Structure 1
Amino acid sequence: MTPRRVRRWLRWPDTVLGRTALVLVLALLLSVATAVMLFESQRQEALEAIGGRNAAERVGGLVAIAEQTDPDRRHGTLRRLDTPRFRVGWGTRPVVENDESFGLAAFVRDTLQTGLEGREIRVSSRPGPVGGPDTGMFGRGGRARDDDRPPQEAEPFPPPGEGPSFAPPGAESLRPPSLNRPHHMIGPALRISVRLDDGSWLNVLAPLDPGVSLWRPRFVAPLLLGLVLVTLAALVAVRKATLPFAVFAAAAERLGVDVGAPPLAVTGPREVRRAAHAFNVMQDRIVRFVQDRTQMLAAISHDLKTPITRLRLRAEFIEDDEQRAKMLADLAEMEQMIASTLAFARDDAASEPRQRLDLATMVQGMLEDLEDMGVACSYTGPDSLVIAARPVALKRAIANLLDNAVKYGGRAGVGLTTGGGEILLTIDDDGPGIPEDSMERVFAPFFRLETSRSRDTGGTGLGLAVARAAIRAHGGDITLANRPEGGLRATLSLPQA
């Protein structure tokens, strides 16, 4: 896997659903890991406590057996009780030199003192030397010492009467319970020393059973299954919780295309209901604003028609033919401006219903009309392309773009393509183009470039504004760009649905 792909996988999610789901999953994993760690810690403590209590009970029984057995027979008795998993020794010295007064050792000592009152008891849970012949145990860390020699060559214990002078009567029974066979202890162990009535020491090495490993299929499988189920439930809940965001986004896009779209349903949690209500109030205010603007312009247009008509009548009485023609041309331009302004304000594209139409056939028909007028035109694209659109508004937008190409570029080269989920209609001309800093300004209402759009060419400065408004009402857009070989290219994009 390449570093770029790794960075892409490790990138913070870009959606609310992804981020919320990631946080929930990470929090779930962290909480489960913490719970498992606490459970394992408590489990180990419980196992150690159980092991310590069992060891204390067994040591108590060994003390009773040792003191009730004659010293001559004590060695054989203890030897039979010595096992690889529970070492027993009897000697003149304790195996525990430094007693511990905390933790598990203190717990075991307190348990022993309950049944062995008055005796000296030493307990340690730390690893340390097991001792030699004077402790009755051999080796370190729970391993019997054999001096690296085979069992038959190991040094025998001194015979009775030849041992140390400080040995108690019956010193022959102080020899290790099993000198010639190795003992293996695995894991942590308790070292316990109890002073007997005759002054000798009973030494025990009791291993602490760590228990069966926690990470086994019987434990891990239900844990993983629970994690998967909880994660899936969390993802479903997060998806349901974030669904209103998608609904609001779709409503906002729909509002940008159709200001008269139906309002949002006020359902869901309280916060979602409040947001939906606020969105509906905003949409209602926008609708009222558009209606008020349209009514105002319609009133102005109606009021201006009367004086324009009077001026036209008066212009007919002017004797100078040239002045009369100029005045009538100005009045006609005023009427055209008023009509265009009113059409732009009404935004007819948003109210016209959508219909199934053949865009390729429409464009080719419009180009044939221009060719009949002697305009050079060309078309590249499919013979048929059926889409759902508002016919009048779409035809008006394309007509405005073609009109600009013919007026200011001398010809119209049209291309129609589809791909990437959208339809692209390009219109090329051979004109002077547009300065880069004016590419967006030309879409503003009543804006005209003085160098190329003079009063002699006509126009009100609303053609591109009306065209873009109509295309955006379809969910598309119009962009302009200068061609490298000269001229201007207008690109009309529509969603392919």
Structure 2
Amino acid sequence: MREHLRGRLRRLWPASLLGRLTLVMVAGLLVTQLVANAIWAGQLRSKAQVEAQSAAQYVAHSASAAIRFYRSLPLSYRVLTIQQMREMGGTRFFVQLNHAYVPVKEVAPHPLADSVKATLSATLKSDLPHSPVARLAFAWPDELAVSEDVRLGDLPDAWVQHILLVKPEPAPILVIQTELEPGNWLYMAALMPNPYFLSGNDPWAWDRLALQGLSLAAVLLLCLLVVRWITRPLAALSDAAAAFGQGEHAPPLPETGSREFINTARAFSAMRERIQRYIEDRERLFISISHDLRTPITRLKLRSELLDDEVLRNDFEEDLDELDMMVKGALQCVKDSDIHENPAEIKLDTLLGRLVRSARMAGHEVGFEESGLSVRAKPLALKRAIGNLLDNALYYGKRAEISTRADIGSVSIAVRDHGPGVPEDALASLFDPYMRLEHGREQNDNGMGLGLGIARGVIEAHGGQLILENHPEGGLHATIRLPA
């Protein structure tokens, strides 16, 4: 399970530097924002709790004073007093007298509202210890009933406009109902000192989240631009290194950007020039040495013919033939691995078809089916690499098969022979120069053991792979994988 989780995390982890920096910066910003919001929300809730409790005590003291006042009035005076206060503009409370408790549809449950009601109830009980327990509720204005058959919206505006907030943005209304005498209920409605205390201190309100989201998006956009600006020169450096590794001519890297990249670009350009000079010097040296050695080898062969001792003459000729083969091999290795040509779009059916026709004209049996695939490569170099593999298959296996297929991100060219195969412990050494197995020496005594090494060098110069393995049904199976 743990390994499976690690595998999924590795697949989700971006491969590019741009993706990794972007993911780290985005994750860091999100975590920082969430932690800061959580801390701020905790502080805001704590502050709102303290303020709401203080406001609840203040409202409760005012309500207890109003309850004592109306309880002290005769019943007939209560209605007259309420009417006079309404005509004068009202007091802190909207007051109504009812004959029974009026059911109130409360707002959605909210921890702060519950805390305020608990503080109000405790304070009223403390101020009015001998009075019946008051019933408390918070309700929205449009759903608030003030008597059995009258709603708040049915009342004249003059009665409530200076006491309650009904429009344009309604605020939750505190309703206190208590029984003065049996059959007489005092109904009081008021606003808290902070009318919007339930929503004003909400850290997750949509307007605050929208503002934070816009701020986060702006920061992320700037971070992405900076990361892209930093990594773009690295992508140019990677492309230049890949082009140089495949033998292509790439323009000099621009010396722009940060100081570190400018120094890297200069170091890469200097390294590329040194390597190019080294390759050219090595090529000239090998060609010169190989060419110069052919003349004395030829003279020594002619002089060996003048030896009277036949045994000695045969030994001389055998050593000279071996030396001549080594010189030819060195010259061929340099020429075949350093092919200076431009990459082009190659239709594999055409290229492989020519090789197959030439082999069949020479009397060999080669199986091949067209696939319609194409690759971008150096035509002569790729033909030489595939030709070496096909020659080996025909020399050592008598019969060969060539097939192509398209994989994810690559194109595979497989050459299989029907020979005896290769021992598993010898597969890794087949690419070594002059490496020839006993079966190979018997089948082709003129070979030099350079074909596979040359083929692998050509394929790797194209950014591909050459894989050798024994086929399950017998014979050697060589697979070339090139970028699609």
User: With structure 1 as the length reference, what TM-score do the two structures score?
Assistant: 0.64
Deviation, 1:226, is 3.6
> Do 1:142 and 1:184's aligned partners in 2 also have CA atoms closer than 8 Å?
no
Deviation, 1:466, is 0.9
Unaligned 5+ segments in structure 2 are 86-90, 96-117, 138-146, 148-177
Structure number with higher helix proportion? 2
Task: Find the counterpart in structure 2 of residue 372 from structure 1.
Answer: 361
Q: Does 1:410 align with 2:398?
A: yes
1:221-263: CA deviations, max 9, x gaps?
3333443343344334333333344334333333332276444
Residues of 2 paired with 1:207 and 1:184: CA distance?
18
Q: Does 1:294 align with 2:304?
A: no
Residues of 2 paired with 1:455 and 1:11: CA distance?
48
Aligned to 1:382, the other structure's residue is in SS state: coil
> Do 2:94 and 2:190's aligned partners in 1 also have CA atoms closer than 8 Å?
no
Aligned to 1:453, the other structure's residue is in SS state: helix
Q: Does 1:181 align with 2:185?
A: yes
Structure 1 stretch displaced more, 302-311 or 51-60: 51-60
Deviation, 1:411, is 2.5
Residues of 2 paired with 1:293 and 1:490: CA distance?
30
Deviation, 1:83, is 3.3
> Matched residues, percent identical?
32
CA 1:325 to 1:243, structure 2 compared with 1: closer, same or farther past 3 Å? Answer: same
Task: Find the counterpart in structure 1 of residue 217 from structure 2.
Answer: 228
Residues of 1 paired with 2:278 and 2:455: CA distance?
22
Residues of 2 paired with 1:126 and 1:342: CA distance?
102
Letter of the 1:25 counterpart: V
Give the aligned CA root-mean-square deviation in angstroms: 4.9
Deviation, 1:216, is 3.9
Task: Find the counterpart in structure 1 of residue 102 from structure 2.
Answer: none
Task: Find the counterpart in structure 1 of residue 451 from structure 2.
Answer: 463
> Do 2:466 and 2:480's aligned partners in 1 also have CA atoms closer than 8 Å?
yes
Q: Which of 418, 433, 441 is equivalent to 1:453?
A: 441
Deviation, 1:365, is 2.7
Written as runs of structure 1 = structure 2, the 5 A alignment for 1:71-470 is 83=93, 128=122, 130-131=124-125, 138-139=132-133, 178=180, 180-181=184-185, 210-213=197-200, 214=202, 215-258=204-247, 261-318=250-307, 328=317, 331-345=320-334, 348-355=337-344, 357-374=346-363, 376-382=364-370, 387-450=375-438, 452-453=440-441, 457-470=445-458
Q: Does 1:23 align with 2:29?
A: no
Letter of the 1:393 counterpart: A
Letter of the 1:83 counterpart: F
Aligned to 2:185, the other structure's residue is in SS state: coil
> Do 1:51 and 1:209's aligned partners in 2 also have CA atoms closer than 8 Å?
no
CA 1:184 to 1:21, structure 2 compared with 1: closer, same or farther past 3 Å? Answer: farther
Deviation, 1:469, is 0.9
CA 1:32 to 1:234, structure 2 compared with 1: closer, same or farther past 3 Å? Answer: same
Residues of 2 paired with 1:22 and 1:298: CA distance?
53
Residues of 2 paired with 1:418 and 1:278: CA distance?
38
Letter of the 1:310 counterpart: R
Task: Find the counterpart in structure 1 of residue 13 from structure 2.
Answer: 13
Q: Does 1:482 align with 2:459?
A: no
Aligned to 1:475, the other structure's residue is in SS state: coil
> Do 2:247 and 2:461's aligned partners in 1 also have CA atoms closer than 8 Å?
yes
Letter of the 1:181 counterpart: W
> Do 2:26 and 2:220's aligned partners in 1 also have CA atoms closer than 8 Å?
yes
Deviation, 1:488, is 0.8
Residues of 2 paired with 1:355 and 1:19: CA distance?
34
1:382-412: CA deviations, max 9, x gaps?
1866554333322322222122122222222
